[in-house]
Chain A
Amino acid sequence: MSLTATIIAQAAQVLDKAGQQTANAATGAGFAYGLAAIGPGIGIGYLVGQAVQAMARQPESAGQVQTTMFLGIAFTEALALLGFVVFIMLKFV
């Protein structure tokens, strides 16, 4: 713990204000992209799990379930893409 605090204190001394801002932006960008991918990951896992169960129970409705599943995946994935765009904005703009 003390080692971490020492490293952070030394980094703060080394970095100037602009450097700290860059570091903060990079940290924020990483968190934005990483956290934004977790939610859709859970959502897609749940969605596909339920869809597969539905298809296994009623194979005759597989086509309809697949179509709904595909669109659901794409909508859920839009959240991850939003996180990606936020990442771009924080890191490269």
Chain B
Amino acid sequence: MSLFTTSIPGPQPVAQVAKDIIRRGLIVGPLLLIVGGSIWGLAGLSSTAYGIGLVLVNFAMAAAFITYTSRISLGLLMVSVMFGFLIRLGLIFLAFWLAKDAGWMHPIALGMTIIVTHLGLLVWELRFVSASLAYPGLKPKKSKFGKSSWNFRKQKGDSKVEILDERETKESVKND
């Protein structure tokens, strides 16, 4: 077994995380557009939209590189991440270079949007990432009835649960 032949089959949590980041980006996008537009005017509005688009495409491309290559081999994953970094930086530069002379471009608005959106979305996403082997991607959503099915059973009046509750209470009294 080597790095060049080992691959990671199965579901890829990176794609799930990237999709979630993009979803959050689309949620927070209108707010950023309002802020950009109110500070820098119409040019700021369009540049903010352009910046948000760049950041979301950047996340999507990073996840796509990792997801695709990790199914082939870990060596290719390393190569794709390193060259992917260069390619993505180059593409961001190219995207700015192509639009730098356009009337709707406001460089400060674009730069600020890229930094704020990138870091903001990452920090936001950190709250929803799970750090357990059972759920390697995102944390499972809370049940309608509370944190787990335990509360659901409790609400339905399951007698076993109540008995267990009594035992727990007695044990905790003993321990005290």
When chains A and B are docked, how far (Å) is the Cα of A69 from the Cα of B137?
Answer: 12
B92 close to chain A: CB less than 8 A: yes
Closest A-chain residue to B100, C-beta based? A92
Closest A-chain residue to B112, C-beta based? A85
| Contact count band on A | 35 or more
B50 CB → nearest A CB, Å: 13
Do B136 and A66 have beta carbons less than 8 Å apart? yes
Judged by DSSP, the binding face of B is helix
Question: Are A82 and B78 also in contact (CB < 8 A) when A61-B133, A93-B108 are?
Answer: no
A23 close to chain B: CB less than 8 A: no
Do A88 and B111 have beta carbons less than 8 Å apart? yes
B9-44 interface (Cβ within 8 A of A): 10-14, 17-18
Do B13 and A56 have beta carbons less than 8 Å apart? no
| Contact count band on B | 35 or more
Q: Kindly list chain B residues whose C-beta atoms are within 8 Å of the C-beta of A73.
A: 62, 81, 85
Judged by DSSP, the binding face of A is helix
Do A67 and B122 have beta carbons less than 8 Å apart? no
When chains A and B are docked, how far (Å) is the Cα of A93 from the Cα of B109?
Answer: 11
A45 close to chain B: CB less than 8 A: yes
Q: Kindly list chain B residues whose C-beta atoms are within 8 Å of the C-beta of A70.
A: 14, 17-18, 62-63, 66
When chains A and B are docked, how far (Å) is the Cα of A37 from the Cα of B75?
Answer: 23
* Binary A-proximity of B74-93 (CB < 8 A = 1, otherwise 0): 11011001100110110011
A-B contact pairs, 18 of them (CB 8 A): A37-B89, A41-B82, A48-B81, A52-B3, A52-B74, A55-B6, A56-B3, A64-B131, A67-B129, A67-B130, A70-B18, A73-B62, A74-B122, A81-B115, A81-B118, A82-B115, A88-B107, A88-B111
Residues of A within 8 A of B (CB): 37, 40-41, 44-45, 48-49, 52, 55-56, 59-64, 66-71, 73-75, 77-78, 80-82, 84-85, 88-89, 92-93
